[in-house]
Amino acid sequence: MAHPLAYLFESPSPINLRHVPFSPDLTALVIGPHPDDFDAMAVTLRLVLHRGVSLVALIFRAGSGVPAWFASLRPAMTPTAIREDEQRASCEAFGLAEDALIFLDFDRDPYGELREDSANFDRLAHFVRQFQPDLVFLPHGEDTHPTHRCVARLFRRTAETLQRPMVAFWSRDPKTQRIRVDAFTPFDTGEAEWKARLLRFHASQHWRNVETRRMGLDERIFSVNRQTARALKCGFPYAEAFELEFFPGPSANGLLTSGREAAGHGVQPASEPMSDRPPLRHAEGSE
Ligand SMILES: [Zn+2]
Domain residue limits at 155 = 7-251
What is the Å distance from ligand 1's center to 57 Cα? 14
Look at residue 215 and tell me if it is in a domain.
yes
Look at residue 129 and tell me if it is in a domain.
yes
Look at residue 218 and tell me if it is in a domain.
yes
Q: Whole-prediction pTM value?
A: 0.87
What is the Å distance from ligand 1's center to 262 Cα? 31
What is the Å distance from ligand 1's center to 2 Cα? 35
What is the Å distance from ligand 1's center to 161 Cα? 25
Give the whole-angstrom CA distance, residue 128 versus residue 159.
8
Look at residue 229 and tell me if it is in a domain.
yes
What is the Å distance from ligand 1's center to 220 Cα? 13
Condensed to tens digits (0 to 9), the pLDDT of residues 92-133 reads: 999 999 999 999 999 888 888 899 999 999 999 999 999 999
Q: What is the mean pLDDT of residues 44-53?
A: 97
Look at residue 125 and tell me if it is in a domain.
yes
Split into its structural domains, the chain has a count of 1
What is the Å distance from ligand 1's center to 106 Cα? 14
Give the whole-angstrom CA distance, residue 14 versus residue 267.
7
Condensed to tens digits (0 to 9), the pLDDT of residues 7-30 reads: 888 889 999 999 999 999 999 999
107 or 139, greater pLDDT: 139
What is the Å distance from ligand 1's center to 75 Cα? 24
What is the Å distance from ligand 1's center to 100 Cα? 19
Q: For residue 43, how far is the Cα from the chain centroid?
A: 11
Look at residue 89 and tell me if it is in a domain.
yes
What is the Å distance from ligand 1's center to 152 Cα? 11
Look at residue 270 and tell me if it is in a domain.
no
Look at residue 231 and tell me if it is in a domain.
yes
| β-strand partners of 187 | 238
Side-chain-facing half-sphere of 76: CA atoms under 13 Å: 1
Condensed to tens digits (0 to 9), the pLDDT of residues 106-116 reads: 988 888 889 99
The CATH number of residue 35's host domain is 3.40.50.10320
